[in-house]
Amino acid sequence: MKKILLILIIQLISVNFFAQKKFAQLDQELPTPNEYRNAAGAPGHHYYQQKADYKMNITIDDETQKLSGFETITYTNNSPDKLDYLWLQLDQNIYSVDSDSKIIEIEKMEDFKTVGDIRKKTFYYDGGFKIEEIKSSNGQKMRYFINKTMMRIDLDKPLLPNTSITFQIKWWYNINDRMAVGGRSGYEYFEKDKNYLYTVAQYFPRMCVYNDVTGWQNKQFLGRGEFTLPFGDYDVNITVPADHIVGATGECQNLSSVLTAEQRKRLDQARKSDSPILIVTQSEAEKAENDKSKQTKTWNFKATNVRDFAFASSRKFIWDAQNVAVGGKNVLCMSYYPKEGNPLWERYSTKLVAHTIKTYSKYTVDYPYPVAISVHSKWIGMEYPMICFNGGRPEADGTYSEQEKYGMWGVIIHEVGHNFFPMIINSDERQWSWMDEGLNTFVQYLTEQEWERGYPSRRGPAYMIADYMRGDKKTISPIMTNSESIFQFGNNAYGKPATALNILRETIMGRELFDFAFKTYCERWKFKHPTPADFFRTMEDASAVDLDWFWRGWFYGTDNVDIAVEEVKWFQLNTQNPETEKAFKKEIDDQKDLFIGDERNKTAIKETVNEKDKNIDDFYATARKNKYVVDALDKKEYQEFIAKTDAKDLEYLKANKHFYEVNFSNIGGLPMPLIIEFTFVDDTKQVVRIPAEIWRQYEDKVSKVFILDKEIKSLRLDPFLETADTDLNNNSWPKEVLPTKYQLFKQQTIKENPMQRQKRLDELNKQ
């Protein structure tokens, strides 16, 4: 009910005397800025990074599925420190018999309930690097020590600042059967035509990162936290069966030795085409599948300023390509896939690569590399510089579900997108999965939405993370958690950060400020090694938006968003005009509930004594009857009030404004803006947005007065589902209980599937 506001000066919430926590600055949590990383979030004036250049000869034995390699590494120490030893990563050792990854796996007897389970658990595979030799450039053997997935090479003399060292490693390993052992890379065997498809990565001893943040980043590879790698130049010879087609990081340098003249002609055509051109056709691939050459060929690839090198090789490959122009440069977008990937792959893969490169370049940095490749690899999605391995396989009969199609689209966009995070903006994946997966998933969402209007993205919109964020916090990790220790990896490292960035863009900062700050971060840290603090600081530095509370809540905490509308009070100004106020008083009195006895007495008592006898009513009784009548004295006093009141104040009084005091409580604990949609009695609507800083002093409860031109019928908090509020049932006044998913399902009147509906439509059209 409307209340009369007697005091003209409206006081908002009073000052909080308690220490605030959720809006405390992040100073304690962030590292102290220094000459390597400054307080603005940019590389400091003494920023440095190491360089690792590789020359490699790699051979795949298709008979034994064995990979042999010989590499010459030139490592340049750009740090101010002298290095007594070097650390290299031996990722294949995750498949060693004594691998920690197997030992630390939690097991229970339910894991052994089928023969398949037991076979899988006891499966023996002689994996892991077999290091044969490590020697210096002058042929001297070097001392080394292998600690599981890390290898230390001891130097005779320390490697001084601004000097390089060159050394050589010879090794081999058994390539893993990806279908039996799993893994980000390996081989897939096609029983039907007895051929192999190799997706090869983490196949060579790789230098660890040494920098100002971690020293040597030599945290063991346990399987989830991915890779942290320095940039460098690669020159790689890959020897494979002569009928294999090889796609790799970088550009092939000897096309005339490995492709036919016809294939080279098609490739040249593709370089000028804005739609995919086949370089190797399905029939050519099928012929190779049957012929199975016993000869070998060596492909040579070079790549500059990349953090890794991967490749794919198979005689089953169909290969297509098209050009996309980015930042005034041409990028050759390519796909390699077996016939089992069709019809999905020939239709979509390369177009998706081109779209991804173009869209990511808009939001981050111009794609700097000459090629971008998508390779079809059953089940997985895994990324490397310029090349990625992606799932999305139709049924054996060539049909596919719509979900499979969207799954394939999503994985290609995501994995090609990884070229930007972390291949170019080279964060530490071993420590912080969210810095590549989260940022990439965010731009993936933007890219999907530009591919198809209303694209059913899995992650991005705020409301989609609500289920994950609600409930007991014991099994929810903050985003700022080491990759190996995260509960719910997908929601934590992909979904929540992507949602958080979406909320920053749509709700907290706005698109213009966000896009500028985000691009600034990408430009500052391209071809460098950013940390979380560099990201947090740059986003604030480039936008003048204090986001410490946001990082604290969304990245360092596990609170969820649940803001409730607790109470709404309605006021109007006392105009002092007796005509208005007495009429209003009458209206209020008339609306008061009547005691049932009084109601019945209206008719049951025909006439009371004072109604019959006019002498009964005295002055008071008469005054009570006339209390709504405006008399001369009322009018005179009002005229006197007008005379002494400022004209502008009188305007306020006559404006007939409606004052609503709304009380909000923050049940979930995560502060967020208040977005309120008012629906007026005439069914028009108005949206008011209040920044999250309204919670800066009182963290649990706040109130706000809204001065509106019209009376409201209802109000609703978060009407556009943009804050990830986990309970929408307490967001409305009057209270509105939303149906459960089950109830929504039962309300559906259409009980037919889309094909049944189409059938009915076809029949109708025939009539």
Partner 1 sequence: MIKRFIFISFLVVLGNISFAHNYYFSFAEVEYNDFCGCFESSITVTTHDFEQVLRKNNLLNKNLETSLNDYNLKQNIESLINEGFQITIQNRNVEFHIEGNEIGLNGLTTFYLSSNPIDLSEEILFTYSLLMNEFPEEQNKLTFIFRGQKTTLNFIANQFTHSIKLEK
Q: Which is nearer to partner 1, 28 or 740 (CB)?
A: 740
**Max Cα distance, the chain (Å):** 130
Residue 4 has φ and ψ, to the nearest 5°, of -85, 130
Min dist. Cβ of residue 742 to partner 1 (A): 4
For residue 430, CA distances in Å to 214, 439, 526 come to 11, 15, 19
In 3D space, the residue among 553, 550, 558 whose CA is nearest the CA of residue 514 turns out to be 550
Min dist. Cβ of residue 423 to partner 1 (A): 16
CA angle 432, 47, 366 (to 5 degrees): 70
Give the interface with partner 1 as residue ranges (CB under 8 A): 105-120, 123, 178-184, 223-224, 226, 379-380, 382, 395, 399, 401-404, 406-407, 410, 437, 456-458, 467-468, 470-472, 474-476, 487-491, 493-494, 727, 729, 737, 740-743, 745-746
Min dist. Cβ of residue 113 to partner 1 (A): 6
Residues 276 and 322: beta-carbon distance below 8 Å: yes
Q: Which is nearer to partner 1, 94 or 318 (CB)?
A: 94
Tally of residues, the chain: 767
Residues 668 and 726: beta-carbon distance below 8 Å: yes
Min dist. Cβ of residue 444 to partner 1 (A): 12
Q: Which is nearer to partner 1, 105 or 700 (CB)?
A: 105
In the numeric block, the tokens 């969304």 are attached to: 554
In the numeric block, the tokens 């003209």 are attached to: 8
Residues 154 and 84: beta-carbon distance below 8 Å: yes
Q: Which is nearer to partner 1, 118 or 629 (CB)?
A: 118
Q: Which is nearer to partner 1, 280 or 561 (CB)?
A: 561
Residues 656 and 572: beta-carbon distance below 8 Å: yes
For residue 403, CA distances in Å to 70, 354, 400 come to 43, 22, 8
Residues 209 and 155: beta-carbon distance below 8 Å: no
Q: Which is nearer to partner 1, 409 or 706 (CB)?
A: 409
In the numeric block, the tokens 């995501």 are attached to: 414
Please count the CA atoms within 13 angstroms of the CA of 679 that sit on its side-chain side.
10
Helix (H) or strand (E) holding 469, with range, is helix 466-469
Q: Which is nearer to partner 1, 116 or 597 (CB)?
A: 116
Min dist. Cβ of residue 433 to partner 1 (A): 9
Q: Which is nearer to partner 1, 189 or 720 (CB)?
A: 189
Q: Which is nearer to partner 1, 214 or 488 (CB)?
A: 488
In 3D space, the residue among 324, 321, 325 whose CA is nearest the CA of residue 337 turns out to be 321
In 3D space, the residue among 313, 334, 309 whose CA is nearest the CA of residue 240 turns out to be 313
Min dist. Cβ of residue 376 to partner 1 (A): 15
Q: Which is nearer to partner 1, 314 or 730 (CB)?
A: 730
Separation of alpha carbons 559 and 577, rounded Å: 51
Min dist. Cβ of residue 180 to partner 1 (A): 5
| Bridge partners for 330 per DSSP | 325
In 3D space, the residue among 695, 693, 689, 690 whose CA is nearest the CA of residue 666 turns out to be 695
Q: Which is nearer to partner 1, 28 or 403 (CB)?
A: 403
Q: Which is nearer to partner 1, 71 or 340 (CB)?
A: 340
Helix (H) or strand (E) holding 440, with range, is helix 434-451
Please count the CA atoms within 13 angstroms of the CA of 407 that sit on its side-chain side.
15
Min dist. Cβ of residue 483 to partner 1 (A): 10
Min dist. Cβ of residue 348 to partner 1 (A): 15
Min dist. Cβ of residue 500 to partner 1 (A): 16
In the numeric block, the tokens 């939303």 are attached to: 738
Min dist. Cβ of residue 482 to partner 1 (A): 15
Min dist. Cβ of residue 461 to partner 1 (A): 10
Separation of alpha carbons 297 and 294, rounded Å: 10
CB atoms under 10 Å from CB of 532, counted, come to 21
Min dist. Cβ of residue 727 to partner 1 (A): 6
Alpha-helical (H) ranges within 305-401 are 344-363
As given in the structure block, the two tokens for residue 479 are: 């985003």
In 3D space, the residue among 368, 361, 365, 518 whose CA is nearest the CA of residue 438 turns out to be 518
Residues 152 and 167: beta-carbon distance below 8 Å: no
Min dist. Cβ of residue 37 to partner 1 (A): 28
Min dist. Cβ of residue 402 to partner 1 (A): 6
Residues 673 and 508: beta-carbon distance below 8 Å: yes
Min dist. Cβ of residue 339 to partner 1 (A): 19
Q: Which is nearer to partner 1, 104 or 616 (CB)?
A: 104
| Bridge partners for 416 per DSSP | none
Q: Which is nearer to partner 1, 369 or 434 (CB)?
A: 434
What is the DSSP code string of 532-546? HHHHHHHHHHTTT--
Q: Which is nearer to partner 1, 458 or 524 (CB)?
A: 458
Terminus-to-terminus CA distance in the chain, angstroms? 59
Q: Which is nearer to partner 1, 369 or 494 (CB)?
A: 494
